[in-house]
Amino acid sequence: MPEDNHEPPADTLRLVIRDEVTRLIHYHASSCRYTIDEHPKRLRQLEQRFSTLLGFMAGSGLLGGISGALISKLWQ
């Protein structure tokens, strides 16, 4: 008895689903008000917080190195 298999191969189905999801994500990214209005503001806030943290880390390393060098020179 021959099989009546009308389903497309799994790879073809996976590619179709991937293309449709990609198209849907692009559509959503271009039309969603939150993505257009809020996303850049929040990203800017995250960038500012990250740069502040980097500044604190660099400053504490610099101050720690200078104070350690000063203390070691005073003990000699």
pTM above 0.85, yes or no: no
For 14-54, what is each residue's pLDDT tens digit?
Answer: 999 999 999 999 998 888 888 778 888 888 999 999 999 99
Q: What is the pLDDT of residue 51?
A: 97
Q: What secondary structure does DSSP assign to 44-65, as a single string?
A: HHHHHHHHHHHHHHHHHHHHHH
pLDDT at 12: 87
Q: What angle do CA 15, 20, 30 make, to 5 degrees?
A: 140
Measure the CA–CA gap between 27 and 6, rounded to whole angstroms: 31
**Could you report the per-residue pLDDT of 53-72, keeping only the tens digit for each?**
999 999 999 999 999 999 99
